[in-house]
Amino acid sequence: MKHVLVVEDDPHNATLFRKVLEKRAGYRVTVSEDGAEIMRLARSGDIDLVVLDVSLGHTSLDGQPVNGVELCRALKADPLTVGIPVMLATAHAMRGDGERLMAESGADDYVAKPIVDHAAFALQVRGQFGEAA
């Protein structure tokens, strides 16, 4: 079973991501906003995808506050985690914002929040694994 790490500081969004990914997509989900735990989990080899909020308010890495773009860069710079697909989750959904954030962070994909179409989100995540609907 695929294991998705959701990095989200808003409890309502975290719950929504968990429910959609577990119930609709059938994945195992871990939610965290702790930078050290995120890196430890990602380095463990047990994470298949990271869904990463862009605007993290309480996350730090190596004692420094980080947002989702910076955390994605750290994941993509680490030889143990570089191959894990990262999907940014952002409320910054103006034309071009997602593409700009992906370019800045090295992320593989993005989704606009709030997630309204749960089925479409589940399909988008399945696409990261090359799975059909």
pLDDT tens for the chain, 133 residues: list them: 999 999 999 999 999 999 999 999 999 999 999 999 999 999 999 999 999 999 998 999 999 999 999 999 999 999 999 999 999 998 876 777 888 899 999 999 999 999 999 999 999 999 998 886 5
Are residues 125 and 5 in contact, defined by beta-carbon separation less than 8 angstroms? no
On whether residue 89 sits in a domain, the answer given is yes
On whether residue 85 sits in a domain, the answer given is yes
DSSP-H helix ranges across the chain: 11-19, 35-43, 68-77, 97-105, 118-128
Structural domain containing residue 113: 3-128
CATH number at residue 90: 3.40.50.2300
On whether residue 38 sits in a domain, the answer given is yes
On whether residue 133 sits in a domain, the answer given is no
